[in-house]
A and B are shown apart, each in its own frame.
Chain A
């Protein structure tokens, strides 16, 4: 099987998102924003209070990641994905506000997949454990919010040909659910316990 590779740039729009299909390999360039649990908690708190989010979410991509500290003269330290499921409770609101892409690793909940479908968004997988390799694709980084959270702050990072896989496309096709079916060796696999 050949994996198709597509080069795309942020910010994303409906047309770009709809051109991406589960299993496509993507090389992403442009600005993306890191955020983990603590940053999500703060963003949602700001939104509930009627304050603007720390960056305009429309068309943007959030990378679920907290980098290792950068060595002098390098843009960023090792920066692989963290488990996406921990921010599932926050993600649908951000998708409704125009967030178009998410980068992480691991399964997403039904409400997140539903939001991805109804608002045309995409979930990318980055290789978990390949953090030094992924750092090589980052050209610059700066903290734009919640600096006191350390590795959990929001970083704006500029990436070039950042290697990703389309895991959940805008039609809701989910590689984490469909991929293993081809390979499992028994008749019935327990359904995912999605929370």
Chain B
């Protein structure tokens, strides 16, 4: 059995947190460049120019793309033939987050208690960890620092099976119409359909990791993505929400089996600063 020391996990998480906060993924940058070619609104053009300049500056000056360096979400695919030695998975991930945020001028935005004390934990921990056990002898990590401005624009609906495709489209569209302007458009909209009350939102978040411009491999869901993108851009919110053609750079839909009585739909809205970085041990 292969052994991985928790220090290795912490070191990898640290470097992924730094990279994700400073370097915009290529596909997101290309999405913004493409949006600029399609945008006819002058306000929209000005916002997209700012964003491209911001991406360059952040990389050059090694500054975070956004002051909201997020709450850190970590997707882990842990090979069953790997044994973790030292601390627990949560502890080793938190150690990496702590070092990254304390030593690299990243904003710490986590409070200990949501309702009463609301005291900053000081080191941006804990991270939110979604771990799957998979085959093999590798551990794969994807770090997603997710800002709350766009999390606050996200929503879950437990639709009825009879609501069908139309119900899904209406819910996604109305979610973006209501709060999309608050969430730093152009957006990337992640949609998770199926599963149950807790799995649909995780699917939606996971869908954000697919490259901007990619389509679901299932034709029906691929067409749904196209349809949703057209509908969302038809809202006319535009870059910055000031009006324009490009409200979303892309829409990703992921699906999974569900119960005979259900049609859960989760919409995870992401701002233009979609940040993620991956690595493995």
Contacts and interface: CB of A to CB of B under 8 A. Distances in A.
Q: Does chain A bind chain B?
A: yes
Interface of A: 1-3, 23, 25, 38, 65-71, 77-80, 82-83, 85, 105-107, 125, 127-133, 135-136, 149-152, 163, 165, 167, 175-176, 178-186, 189-190, 192-193
18 contacts: A3-B42, A67-B67, A70-B105, A78-B58, A78-B64, A80-B67, A82-B149, A83-B152, A106-B183, A106-B241, A129-B65, A129-B271, A131-B64, A151-B108, A167-B242, A180-B181, A189-B236, A190-B178
Interface residues of B, number: 50
Contact of B242 (A38, A125, A192): A125
Contacts, number: 174
B243 A82 contact: no
B240 A78 contact: no
Contacts of B273: 129
B6 to A, nearest CB: 27
Contacts of A125: 240-242
Interface in B56-112: 57-58, 61, 63-69, 105-109
A61 to B, nearest CB: 18
B237 A180 contact: yes
Given A78-B64, A129-B273, A130-B50, A67 B107 contact: yes
Interface in B232-268: 234-238, 240-245
- Which 4 A-B pairs rank lowest in CB-CB distance, beginning with the nearest? A179-B243, A183-B236, A184-B236, A106-B182
A61 B46 CA distance: 23
B227 to A, nearest CB: 13
A132 to B, nearest CB: 4
B220 interface: no
Given A127-B51, A130-B53, A185-B234, A82 B68 contact: yes
B106 A68 contact: yes
Contacts of B237: 180
Interface string B147-185: 001001000000000000000000000100110011110
Judged by DSSP, the binding face of B is loop
Contacts of A149: 120
Contacts of A136: 57
B272 interface: yes
A66 B109 CA distance: 10
A163 B41 CA distance: 18
Contacts of A3: 42-43, 46
Contact of B63 (A65, A105, A135, A180): A135
Contacts of A65: 67
B30 to A, nearest CB: 16
Nearest to B106: A68
A1 B47 contact: no
Nearest to B40: A183
